[in-house]
Amino acid sequence: MSQPDSSNGRYRFQGQQPMDPNADVHPEMLSSAAMEPLNADIPNSPEDLIAMQDTPPRPNRPEKPERKRSEKVTQVLDLIKSLSTSPADDQAIALSLLNKLEDFHDQVVSELAEDEDAKHTQLVSWAVDADRLYQARLLLQNVEMG
């Protein structure tokens, strides 16, 4: 038996023994012209095939940038820290903020639903966030503070 021709990127093995890659192959597959488009992606050996499957390590992706607080947010948080509030007061403040965010999201969802040019994915995204805020509000309302 002749040695396999690995120059065209074709190889065959049976029982760990090299075989003629042209044996029992359809005549169109013997044509080097028919193989040309495939040669670039065909490895010359099993080792080359394994090497092709080894994926290079992914580059380190940068962390998401931190959102910078606006001056208003900093002022409000500083004020909250300086006040002597009870847990019930803190809950009421948090519920008020959640209500405000939920109302905003509900309003955007309504506007997107009426807008024929709005993307469906955008509407779904806003609706999902509105539902998350609703669920968060329900959970927070059910927390007993005293």
The answer to whether residue 103 sits within a structural domain is yes
Pick 92 or 29 by higher pLDDT: 92
Q: Is 73 inside a domain boundary?
A: no
pLDDT bin (cut points 50, 70, 90) of residue 39 is low
Pair (89, 48) in one structural domain: no
Residue 33 has pLDDT above 50, yes or no: no
Residue of 120 and 33 predicted with greater confidence: 120
Q: Which domain holds residue 110?
A: 85-141
Rounded to whole angstroms, the Cα distance separating 11 from 42 reads 9
| pLDDT higher at 50 or 104 | 104
Domain annotation covers residue 66:
no
Q: Is residue 105 part of a domain?
A: yes
Residue 146 lies in a domain: no
pTM over 0.75: no
Residues 48 and 90 in one domain: no
96 and 137 share a domain?
Answer: yes
Structure confidence by residue, pLDDT tens digits, 84-120 = 999 999 999 999 999 999 999 999 999 999 888 888 8
Cβ pair 28, 10 in contact under 8 A: no
Claim to verify: residue 45 and residue 90 sit in the same structural domain: no
DSSP of the chain:
-PPP-GGGT--EEETTEEE-TTTT--HHHH-HHHHHHHHTT--SSHHHHHHHHSPPPPPPPPPPPPPPPPHHHHHHHHHHHHS---HHHHHHHHHHHHHHHHHHHHHHHHHHHH-TTS-HHHHHHHHHHHHHHHHHHHHHHT----
The structural domain count of the chain equals 2
User: Does 91 share its domain with 48?
Assistant: no
Segment 3-30 shows an average pLDDT of 68
Is residue 137 domain-resident? yes
In a domain, residue 74? The reply is: no
- Asked whether residue 62 is domain-assigned, the answer is no
Cα 145 to the center of its chain, rounded Å: 39
Could you tell me if 136 and 92 lie in one domain?
yes
Is the pLDDT reported for residue 57 higher than 80?
no
